[in-house]
Amino acid sequence: KNLIQILLNNTDGDPYSPSSRSIFLSKLRKFVMDNNAEMRGLYSSSTQPAIGLSFLCTLLDLARTLRDEELQDEPDTKPYIDYRFYYDGTFKYTNIDRIGGVLSYLRKHFRTQLVEKLGF
Residue 120 is predicted with a pLDDT of: 61
Q: What pTM did the predictor assign?
A: 0.62
| Structure-model confidence comparison of residues 108 and 14, the more confident one | 14
pLDDT category of residue 68 using cuts at 50, 70 and 90: confident
Picking from 25-29, 58-62, 72-76, which range would have the lowest pLDDT averaged per residue?
A: 72-76
Q: Using the predicted structure, report yes or no on whether residue 89 has a pLDDT greater than 80.
A: no
State the pLDDT at residue 101: 62
- Note whether 42 and 54 are within 8 A (CB): no
Mean pLDDT, the chain, whole residue set = 79
